[in-house]
Structures are given as structure tokens and as C-alpha cells.
Chains A and B, each alone.
Chain A
Amino acid sequence: MCGIAGIIHRDGSADVGSEMTSMLQSMKHRGPDSSGYALFGPASDLVVIRFKLADANDPRDFDFKERLERHRLEVETRLSKIGASIDRVESETEYAYRAQVRYDGDLKALADYLEDVPGCEVLSLGHSLEIVKDLGDAMEVSNLYGLAGFEGTHAIGHVRMATESDVDISGAHPYWAYPFSDVAVVHNGQLTNYFQWKRRLEFSGHRFQSECDSEIIAVYLAEKMAEGSSLKEAMDQSLDDLDGVFTYMAVTQDSLGVAKDEMAAKPLVLYESDELVAMASEEIAIRAVLDREIDTYDPYERQVLVWSR
């Protein structure tokens, strides 16, 4: 089933960390397996890297901790080797980390080099995007990663009921649009031509970290944008290229977009005002941040809507 939510403030920033937690927690019944956030903080000169070195449910063998420490040092060594000067590397949990580095080179080369370290997966890369995802409901993930008080302009989130792949962090949304800076996607639905697109995109040199069908939307959009399309154009084109049922949201550094398939098979409720735009699979998620009577509507089939902050 899955639940998705998005919010973009048009008049400055807000505590999008807490807002997204409230939205996702109110839709916990749509997906109790994992919860994920893509949050946009103030743009920084530094590159923020969110990565993990193990999954939440990996077996804890005898040298689990030593191995993680070894791999973390290896990541730091490689960051230096590739020319990134490290500002800081912080442990968020036992296995998830947040690094800030000064780096002007190719992000794909950086991501590939880091992911070559055993167990390493880059969850997000960018100047303001931070993807946080883990098993459990939104409150648990928010507490674990300290997301309350995260000031930003926009965010998307996802609560997952796993259908197409395993219950682990790799299978959790949002997906970063590897290797594109500051782009992420959440998806509710199933794609049926996933393997065809995965093969095509792998031929173009992209990597996939999960078996989840949703990951291709992020990489698909990234490739289209790398070819020169705007977010809106890439999303419009995806309606013809992707088969299956979907409502998905995509975010870039300054925009938030949503697309619905041609059957309008998956729900979306939308609220728009001069100050903010909020959308979710269910109205109760919007009401979790706007606790009053509001006018909302369901977008129709094949609609692509994009807002900029």
C-alpha cells in the first residue's frame, strides 16, 4: 500500500523534520515496515553525504563493530584520496553516517568510489538534500536520527509496506537519484516494466542498490535531467515511459513535483495555499500539520504538478 507525503514552504523555511514526522506518523497504517525522509536544509557550499555501512537487520557477528569502524576509516581515506576535504563525519546510528566535505569533482566518481567499500551505500549526496531512512515508524526513525527541529524549505517522505522487495534500508524510500546532486523520489505503487528500464539504465552506467522497482524512477529522472530536461519535462515523459500504477513525488533543490499514472490508480490529496503546498496519500497526513478545515482535492490521471519555493 505505502504512504507518501510532501510539503514545500513558499514563504521561507520551517521545521520540516517535525512536520514530515507528523505527516508520516499519521499514515503509519499504510506502511509500518520502514519510514524515510528527504529533507532540504539551507544550501551549503559543502557536500553532504548520507551513507550507511550495514543494514539495520544485518546479522551482528563477532567482528561487526570492528568491521564497521574499519570501513568507516576506509571511507574517510577514500574521501581524501579522491580530493574531498573532510569537514566532519558523524555517526547517526550504529551503521549510518553523515559526512560534510568540500568537493568540486564528479559526484558519480565519488559515489562509486565510496560504494566500493564493502557494505557502503550512499543514501544521498548534495548541497542541501539529506535522505534519512530506516526500519520502523516515523517517530522511531525521527528519534533515532534526531530529525525534530530540522529547518528546511521542503521535504518528502514515505512509509513503506514492502511488496516488491525486502524489508531493509536499501529497499526503503526515498531514493536518491544517483548520481545526480540533490534529487530524490518517493513512490506509491508498482512498476511493471522495471526490469527493462533497469537494464537500459545499467547500460548507461547507472548502478542500482536495491531490488526495489521504485529506485528506477529516481535514476530515470536523473538521466533525463542530465540530458537537459527540466524536472517537469522529465516527469511528463515518465508517464509514457513507465508502466504500472504510481503516484510519485520528486524533489530537487528548489522544486517539488508530483505525477500520477494514467489510471489515477494511487491516491493523492493536495492542499495549496500562498504559504505552502502539502500533499499526501491521505488527508489526515495534511491535517497533521494544518489542524483546521481546509480545501483539498485529488489530482487527476496523467497530471504532473511542480511547485518551486
Chain B
Amino acid sequence: MEPVGGERRITYDARGLAEPDAEVPAVSEIDGDRAVFDAAKLTTRQINLELRNLIYEQGIRDVTVRNPGAKHSIGVGILQRCRIRFEGSLGYFGLGLIDGPEIVVEGRVGWSVCENMMSGVVEIKKNAGSLTGAAIRGGDLVVHGSVGARTGIDQKGGTIIVGGDAGSMTAFMMQRGRQIICGDVGPGLGDSMYDGEIFVAGTVASLGIDCVPGEWTDADTELIERKFRIYGLGTPPEFQKFVCGKVLYNYDNLEPSERKLVIH
């Protein structure tokens, strides 16, 4: 595992935002394999250093963060199975690049939450901003409130569940995975999507280019019932399903390694 401080520290900091001299604040109250700390007076980097120190260095698997204060870029790059609970709201780019953790945010999150998440479960109790789950590749991202625009842009896997409404260009350029939206969605749903499935319970303002109604299967019913059961969302409403019409399906859909085999 990468050292918390040490050799790979940032030394160039023209804008004064990177906090190159930040040290692990070590302010947590640790009780067995659980830890709690108050983030009110900590900077972004101090919060992340504290989290990484607890999870990687001390092997703690259950961390509660109090007063995250809507700060940006909190809880990023956690590549370990663990539980983290944020008692409050996060700002932009929270929980990005994670692989494995189970995270609960009791407040709201800003733009680009869980960007590029690889696996794990993230549950957000209130609303989320735009670009929620941008480019996620796996795991479950559950937002109990409403989300902004471009939810799951470039989604490559995993499941995004939204309890409320979603904005314009939801699932823009989606490539794989599923979205389950219990409320209404804005214009341009699934615009230029490549693949994947979108389920919407409310009204759709308009469909994007090459997004078409899909055929319902038993597997869809099973998926939705299972996810609703896991996240305590009650009885599922009736959903419409949308998929890629594959009319725009003229891109090169091979992975780079596969393309090499074809060309050579």
C-alpha cells in the first residue's frame, strides 16, 4: 500500500490548495475496530489523510466522520473494503475513484459524486448534484433524494438508483450498467447511449438520440425487486424501460486490446 505521507508528496503548489505540508491529524476516537472523528476544523487533505491512516495504517474497518461541512473531494481513492459514515453533506467530487467501501452519506452531495467508482455501495440520504456517478464501472450508488443533470454520464457498469427526480441528459453516453429512477427525468434521456438499461417510474420529458423503449424481462423485475429490498425502498412502482436503439451503433466498440488483434 502507498505510504500516507513520505516520498510521493506534492511539493509544487502554485495555487495554495494542495496543502503539501498537511500531516495526519490523528484526532479520531478509536474503539476496537471502529473510529469516529470530527471534521469541522480539518481541511480536505487532513480529512483524507485521517481516513487513509485509519483504514490503511490502523486496519480500522468502520469509520464515522462528523461535520464534513460540504467540503470538496472527501473520501476519494479508498481502495479497501470498509464502512464509512458521513454525518453531514459532502461538496463536489466526493467519494471518487473508490473500490470496495460501503459508504453512507447522511446529507447531500455536490457534483460528480462517486466518479469512476469501481465497486462498493454508496448510499446518499438526501439530494445529489449533477454528474452523479460519472463514469462508474461497478457497485451500487443509491441517492434517496433527487439528482441534477447528466447522471451516470459515460456509465460503464454498476447500478445507479435515484429515489427522486433526475435532470437533463440523464445517462448521456451510457455504455453499460443500469439506472433506476423512481421520479421524473428531464429532456434528452439516454442521449447517445451505447448500451445499458434505464428504468424510469415517472415521466420522461424527452428521449435523447438513439434511446428507445426496451422490452421488459423477468430479469428486470427480479433486479428491481432485489434492489428495492436491499435498500429499503418499499414496494417498487411500475417502471418503463429504455435501452439503446443501436441506430447510432457505428462506433468502434472493441476494447483497445481487441482492436489490435483485428488490425494486425
A residues sitting closer than 8 Å to B (CB atoms) are 29, 32, 262-265, 267, 269, 282-284, 286-287, 293-298, 300-301
Contacts and interface: CB of A to CB of B under 8 A. Distances in A.
Interface stretch (B25-33, B84-92, B232-240, B253-261): B84-92
B91 A284 contact: yes
Contacts of B169: 263
A204 B264 CA distance: 65
Q: Give me the 6 closest cross-chain CB pairs, A-B, nearest first.
A: A283-B70, A264-B149, A298-B148, A301-B168, A300-B167, A297-B127
- Among B17, B145, B168, B169, the one with the most A-chain Cβ atoms within 10 Å of its Cβ is B168
Interface in B157-186: 165, 167-169, 186
Nearest to A301: B168
Contacts of B187: 262, 301
Contact of A297 (B88, B91, B146): B146
B72 interface: yes
A301 B89 contact: no
Contact of A293 (B15, B89, B129, B145): B89
- Among A29, A286, A297, the one with the most B-chain Cβ atoms within 10 Å of its Cβ is A297
Contacts of A294: 89
Chain A interface, >50% SS class: loop
Given A283-B89, A287-B69, A287-B70, A295 B168 contact: no
B19 to A, nearest CB: 12
Contacts of A300: 148-149, 165, 167-168, 186
Contacts of A264: 130, 148-150, 167-168, 186
Given A264-B150, A295-B127, A296-B108, 16 more contacts: A29-B17, A32-B15, A263-B169, A265-B149, A267-B129, A269-B129, A282-B70, A282-B110, A284-B69, A284-B70, A293-B88, A293-B89, A300-B148, A300-B167, A301-B149, A301-B167
Contacts of A267: 110-111, 129-130
Interface size class of B (residues with CB under 8 A): 20 to 34
Interface string B111-136: 10000000000000011011000000
A295 B126 contact: yes
B77 interface: no
B17 A301 contact: no
Contacts of B91: 282-284
Contact of B130 (A32, A295, A298): A298
Nearest to A296: B108
B202 interface: no
Contacts of A282: 70, 72, 91-92, 110
Contact of B107 (A269, A293, A301): A293
A298 B69 contact: no
Nearest to A287: B70
A269 B149 contact: no
B69 to A, nearest CB: 6
A29 B92 CA distance: 13
A140 B149 CA distance: 35
A269 B126 CA distance: 13
Given A283-B89, A293-B107, A298 B167 contact: yes
A301 B186 contact: yes
Contacts of A301: 149, 167-168, 186-187
B71 interface: yes
Nearest to A266: B130
A273 to B, nearest CB: 15
10 contacts: A264-B130, A282-B91, A282-B92, A284-B71, A293-B89, A297-B108, A297-B146, A298-B167, A300-B168, A300-B186
A284 B72 contact: yes
Interface string B177-203: 000000000110000000000000000
- Among B71, B127, B130, B169, the one with the most A-chain Cβ atoms within 10 Å of its Cβ is B130
Contacts of B168: 262-264, 300-301
Nearest to B70: A283
Nearest to B146: A297
